[in-house]
Structure 1
């Protein structure tokens, strides 16, 4: 009883590290050949040129959205960050071809859980690019967003961004 009255309240997670959802080469958003991403119209973040066709959760959180075309996933992290992983550029036109999802909207995920697998050859051949933007879509609500790395990253283990919310 006294523990409930005087116990320390658990503070919500405010700052989190976002891990690389894909293995490959992390690049600045400015280098993405699509103005929606390079000009940060959807929010700030980073992009990864993938070396394999596996996307894992970059955080502990909840799947907010799996696009019907399976080319993009939205996740809400425990601190409120809303993360969009957009696999390739102009991949919506593939209508799901070459993509397989492993989660559904509403699922709870842990960093490293497999979200989507995709065929790199199909994307390379039929889409504009395989480069995959990772965007914090509610950047405008963030206190801070810091880029942690560029260059070689490993899915599920390399921290790529640090984001803080109130």
Structure 2
């Protein structure tokens, strides 16, 4: 279970799983200033493995945003922390073409539930860079640890851990 708030040495802990399989790296290395300068929030970027076109929920929570264009989804965990998963660079320009939302705003999800489906042929035709950003979008008392450098498997491997101060 990815949403693991538990008591361990009197500190709460939350583990967030990879929403997509690929290579996990720092946001600073994303070739887009909105993400590399962390304007929308801190987090990780994942360069998907070839053929990867499904986004899974990284945590148990509630869907608080499904972009009209289908390229991004927001989730609120039980502790109130909010996360955004954004597929690709410049995908908003596709106006929804190539994306299928598999959830609606207000839905309860569990870690590993499918959130978005991506038509990889449409992305290739449009020349979309599929880097996927996974961001923490609101402040809280937890200290995040980002797990960079690894090839991560969606729904299984942690990419962000958060521990209460």
Q: Which has the larger radius of gyration?
A: 1
The question of 1:147 aligning with 2:146 is answered yes
* Aligned-pair Cα RMSD in Å: 1.9
Structure 2 residue aligned with 1:39, among 37, 54, 59?
37
- Structure 1 segments, 4+ long, off by >6 Å, are none
TM-aligned CA distance change 1:69 to 1:50, over 3 Å: same
More helix by share: 1
Deviations, residues 86-127 of structure 1 (Å, cap 9, x unaligned)? 000110110111111111000000000000010223223325
- TM-score (normalizing by structure 2): 0.87
Runs (5+) with no aligned partner, structure 2: 1-5
Runs (5+) with no aligned partner, structure 1: 1-9
More strand by share: 2
What is the distance in 2 between the residues matched to 1:90 and 1:127? Answer: 10
| Aligned pairs, number | 155
Partner SS for 2:96: coil
